[in-house]
Amino acid sequence: MKASELYELYIISEYKKKTSLGAYQAKVDKFIKFFSNPNVEDLFKGENIRAFVFDEGQDPGGKYNAIHNFYKFYYEKYLELPQIEIPIFPINKKKEIIDVYKSEGQKAGTVYIPREVGLEVLFEDHFYQHLNSRNAELTIKAAFALALSAGYDSGEIDPTNNKSEGIMTLDDFIIEEDYVKVRNFYTQSHVPWIIIQGENAVHIKNYWEVRKNAQVEREKDKKRFIAKIWSSKELKEFNANREQKKKIYDPNPIISYMLKYISSHLELSTSLNITHLRSNMILHALFKTKGAALKDIIEIFGFPTYVKNSFEIYCEEINTDVNSYFTPYSLEAGTTEEMEEEKKTQKSKESLIDRLVRDSSKVKKLKKIYHNCCQVCGESITLLSGVTYSEVHHIQPFNKDHQGNDNIPNMLVLCPNHHQLFDMGILALDPENHTTILHVDEALPYHQKLSLLKHRLSFTCVRYHYENIFLPLKTKLSKEIIIPLNDK
Ligand SMILES: [Zn+2]
């Protein structure tokens, strides 16, 4: 029997009404097209069903249900087989589908922003330019600021679970000239308000200024702190430009969209979500204060899982035993001295090299981000044991002729070989995407892509180097080498 005939029978049957056909019909149709309309028996072979259900990395759950339904229709209703003779559907849903998710890393734990990058990266204006809505930008930045300073996740900022208790309302905020106070929802803590200062307070205040006078459409949004304060028109162009079909107008989807967008620009392995931000806040606060913030953190938030996990990661990164924070005598005297001694030698080696190399603070910062590894080949050069070396290349040369600037987006960390190749213009970055490496002689084997990219590069500087250094050399080479050959 032809699959298309069975499909016709299926969609006019009563059987389909047992499930929500609306969602499944298109999937069954796709399934048949996927195998270009073979016989039903071929279609229902185990490997074919598996190939379709697990294809393309989208959620296999919906496809499973659709095909499962179609499969059962064939055996139960069309062939009218008794229950015991119906072959078992070739996928054991729960187990296999969960395994696929796991293997694709979709159920990964918290995502952390590397300590060298810093959390302020989330607020960089260039990420928000494409939104075309100032109010949406303010809302997102305020939500990030709350997650980063008061540890609130989406459930508290604006619930996705329809629970209305514990959402932040306008009454939960007190805005003062140089700080913001937000009510503390943590039950483990006795601190009634969380005080927010600095950059994060500025983002909350900027939003507050607009929010307090904003008209909101829905009744339930009237008191909510994070609410939709833009018109649907404002995001129209943005929605039209997005690849996904589903339009974003509400705060929650747009907040999570922006986190995905920023995560992909930061080249994080998995996307951050708003719940991850509070773990990041704890971890970065520990780094910044060399662990001293732990006491305050516990006082304000208690010691829930996300504090515990972030603290453990901190200890792992700085190579310290978690318990040493809680017991004063956990390290033996001898061990500590040895460690101190080793640290001293290491420090003096590093400062000797520092004096030889004489980097500016920006260059030092950037080299640290890459641990002195070359962004092209990923290698680092070891000078003395434990001391590595790298060079910083100014993409648009930092000299009188080319007038490049001395800012980090105009820099690349490179090994001396690749530094030379970039300086001469043998190599360049593709101005269209910043990660593809171009070579004047395309026939030569070389690294096709930057192997490391952890900081933002300047569009203008990359284009400058490409147009003014790389292309002229390439043109010159093609004239001097290829044309004389053709003349012969
Ligand atoms: Zn290199």
Distance between Cα 377 and ligand 1 center (Å):
4
Token readout for 159 is 């619930």
The whole-model pTM stands at 0.48
Q: What is the pLDDT of residues 48-85, one digit of tens each?
A: 898 888 876 566 777 888 888 889 889 988 888 888 88
- C-alpha–C-alpha distance, residues 257 and 128, integer Å: 11
Distance between Cα 429 and ligand 1 center (Å):
14
Distance between Cα 477 and ligand 1 center (Å):
24
Number of other residues whose CB lies within 10 A of the CB of residue 455: 19
Q: What is the pLDDT of residues 352-405, one digit of tens each?
A: 666 555 667 888 889 999 999 999 999 988 887 778 889 999 999 988 788 888
- Whether 186 and 301 have beta carbons less than 8 Å apart is answered as yes
Distance between Cα 426 and ligand 1 center (Å):
14
- C-alpha–C-alpha distance, residues 350 and 109, integer Å: 35
- C-alpha–C-alpha distance, residues 309 and 225, integer Å: 29
Distance between Cα 365 and ligand 1 center (Å):
19
Question: Cα angle vertex 108, ends 106, 110, to 5°?
Answer: 130
pLDDT bucket at 467, cuts 50 / 70 / 90: very high
- Whether 427 and 412 have beta carbons less than 8 Å apart is answered as no
Distance between Cα 380 and ligand 1 center (Å):
8
Q: Comparing C-alpha atoms, which of 255, 248, 250 is closest to residue 217?
A: 250
Distance set, CA 423 to CA 89, 292, 395, 415 (Å): 62, 44, 8, 12
Distance between Cα 296 and ligand 1 center (Å):
44
- Whether 201 and 213 have beta carbons less than 8 Å apart is answered as no
Token readout for 363 is 């260059």
Distance between Cα 130 and ligand 1 center (Å):
34
Name 36's Cβ contacts closer than 8 Å, sequence gap at least 6: none
Distance between Cα 438 and ligand 1 center (Å):
14
Q: Comparing C-alpha atoms, which of 283, 354, 353, 350 is closest to residue 318?
A: 283
Q: Please state which of the ranges 84-88, 323-327, 466-470 shows the lowest mean pLDDT.
A: 323-327
Distance between Cα 450 and ligand 1 center (Å):
10
- Whether 260 and 111 have beta carbons less than 8 Å apart is answered as no
Query: How is domain 119-324 classified at the CATH fold level?
Result: hpI Integrase; Chain A (1.10.443)
The per-residue pLDDT for 487 is: 42
Number of other residues whose CB lies within 10 A of the CB of residue 458: 18
Distance between Cα 376 and ligand 1 center (Å):
5
Token readout for 80 is 């009218």
- C-alpha–C-alpha distance, residues 64 and 24, integer Å: 10
Q: Where are the domains positioned within the chain?
A: 3-103, 119-324, 359-480
Token readout for 81 is 């087989």
Distance between Cα 116 and ligand 1 center (Å):
21
Distance between Cα 381 and ligand 1 center (Å):
9
Distance between Cα 385 and ligand 1 center (Å):
20
Distance between Cα 441 and ligand 1 center (Å):
18
Distance between Cα 23 and ligand 1 center (Å):
51
Q: What is the pLDDT of residues 125-158, one digit of tens each?
A: 999 999 989 999 999 999 999 999 888 877 677 7
SS3 169: strand
State percent of the chain over pLDDT 90. 26
Token readout for 368 is 């640290």
SS3 257: helix
Distance between Cα 362 and ligand 1 center (Å):
20
**pLDDT of 119 over the 50 cut:** yes
